[in-house]
Structure 1
Amino acid sequence: MTTDKKQSRTNHQPQNFFDSWRNQVSAAIRFSLRRLWYNPISTWITLFAIALALSLPAGMHLFLKNLQTLTDNNRQIPTISLFLHQETTIQQARDRAELITELSEVEQVDVITKDDAIDEFASITEFVESIKTLGDNLLPHVLVVTPKLNSPLTMGQDIKSLTDKLQNYVEVDTVQADIEWVMRLQRIIAIADRITWVIGILLALTVLLVIGNTIRLDIENRKQEIDVARFIGATHAYIRRPFVLGGLWLGLFGGIISLVVVHLAMLSLVPKVNALSNTYGGQFTLTGLNFSMTFVILVISGLLGIIGAWLAVSQHLRQQKIIL
């Protein structure tokens, strides 16, 4: 009989522990939300500060994404011109064009024969008769290679690598590729991307400081309650839990407000962008925040809130000479 009682008590211990932990977490959630509700002015000021800090990098990332989409849709893909040796025949030029087409980096290859080149040259110059008196056609066969590009961020490197490969063919005399504007575009986008990351990191640290300072002030206001809880044997997790949840709510709600700010900013730009696009005969449409970007922003904002609150509580506990 005694053994049965001990076994029954042992079986109930995990259940009682889980119920106790669940009740403590539920109470901490309700308490942390009430703290935000009972201090509306300071809460809204903190939330808007967090939202503004999160909105800037999110908006810059969205702008950069739309810029990349615009360049992808409207850029003229640069081509590579291969000027063949004079002794190369038309059949050899076409055979080489077929082999180049099989390369994974190549989209298509167009063959411009000597006759086509001389006709095109004659159509754009006033010296048609002089060209005809030259006798032999001194222009070479030309292969115009259109590369297959994956991203504007790697466009310059892709073209440079393909150009070096094409230069090694025996029929090729000269390779010409106009990639200066491609490299400039690549540098601009890379710089903008780097600036976005730097600003994002700095503003993330700002969010940490804002949330950490808010939680620190809340700890100071509840110092007596914390001392009483410690006196009656409250664990570090019990003391830390409501503050960490408070930081989570601040970060999460601030992230939601930042999403609203970015969305409203996008809506205000739509008419202007549409008018500009119609002026140039284009059909460009701004791309807003998708589900993955929204999820990432909310996760980052929530984590910043948790980390900021955790650091603030840990600092207070260390100051009280509690061994963590």
Structure 2
Amino acid sequence: MFFRWDWLRPVLTAPVVPTLGPVHPHALTVDLFEDTLTAAAYDRYFLHYDKDRRWSMEKNEVVLPRDVVHERDQTLIPTLTRRGRGVVKVYAYGHRGDILDQAAELAAKLAALHGVVGARVVRPLGPETVPRGVRIQLQDFTARSCPRPAGPVDVLSAWPDAVQSTFAVFAEAMSADGLAFLHSQMQAGRGGPVLTAVDKNRVVGAIGPMEIHPDAIGARQLMPQYFAVLPEMRGRGLGRLLWRAAMHWGQARGAAYQVLQTEVGGPSDRLCRAEGLTTLGFTHTVAV
């Protein structure tokens, strides 16, 4: 075993694992960190519980095991992504005053060594800190009921063909929110159903794909979704309606929880806060 849990656990201020992202606190074990090293040994290998395996045959981000810094009061875990012009990220866990400087130096050195353009430091922060970066939120389906909301929301395939045909235009308009990518995956037959909001026989909002998969310890997790509403349709409660419909879908099908990420202060963040989700922590990413 490479990682010492008695060193690593005290500095895990937020449940974030390199290459895997945020996880439920009940699944946060030394095995997850060890598994990322095993995956790196096979290069572009997906762990069976990795949420990213829905979208690709190969893993884009891998840990650089030989460059991990693992000490009693800090752990620095670098990863490499070759997609595009490439990026090295160093996940910095610890409380030392100079940890960000050390992580930045390591990121810059490894970016030059591997010939990639990007170098970043990812700093997990606890829920008690000043909110910044990306908030990690938990929806616990065992804690309360998620009733089905009333309103013009249904799975895309349930609408008439003429309405379904408008999804392509909607997806292109919301490409910055990932809906064009989602549409391409749907056309390729990948992903679960997509919930859509309709106004005047056209799709004006969507959340999906709706999928449940087991996490690292076998608990049923509602996977993260793409989520967007046309700008001109915002302020009418459609985003909240879609969100509640998605939560009902997950709970009704036996999901135990969902872990998701929202930009602090953004529309999705404000919605999730208003819906009572639990903040597990934050990740703050800095370019070097």
TM-score in terms of structure 2 length:
0.24
TM-score in terms of structure 1 length:
0.22
Of structures 1 and 2, the one scoring higher in RCO (CA 8 A, sep 6+) is 1
Structure showing greater Rg: 1
- Select the structure that is richer in strand: 2
